[in-house]
Amino acid sequence: MKISLLAVGRLKSGAEQTQFNRYFDLFNASARNLAMGPMAVFEIPEGRHESAAERKEAEAHELLKRLGPARLVALDENGQSVTSYEFTAMVSRLRDEALDVAFAIGGPDGHGEALKNAAHFKLSLGKMTLPHGLVRIVLAEQLYRAMTILQGHPYHRA
């Protein structure tokens, strides 16, 4: 099972990049033992169109070009909120079905309709709006957490 993070924009060097890299590296160091990973990141630049609707659709088109045969999970403020255990179960089901998964993180304007319509699942990390760099960190941490839950590792202490 390959896991891809498809993201609009780039993480700048600094604290966000350091935190993301921490969970990215932790996940990739152990994921193969669970037939998961490696995790890969694909970044596209933010759209340059004047209107938000045009930017979102252009970004959606670019993200979808990188999707391949993977199941698409769109991170969306109107998506479904899940617990860490529910997220783990979702990732585990995809792994057991030998399906790759791609998590799409939109730009500042969100996702275009084309990407939302193509998504197999829309995931919300909560009702608050989060900076895109923080979304990457939280997603990478939750993927690492899911892996540790599956391993029975003491990292997750709920």
Binding-site positions for S-adenosyl-L-methionine read 75, 106, 125-130
Sheet holding 39-44, edge to edge: 39-44, 3-8, 101-105, 71-81, 121-124
Joined tokens for residue 108: 């500042």
Q: Judge whether 73 and 100 are in contact, CB under 8 Å.
A: no
Relative orientation angle of helices 15-30 and 132-151, to the nearest 10 degrees: 20
**Dihedral of CA 98/151/39/11: which sign?**
positive
Q: What is the CA angle 32-136-45, rounded to 5? A: 110
User: Residues within the annotated binding site?
Assistant: 75, 106, 125-130
Q: Which letter does DSSP use for residue 120 in this model?
A: S
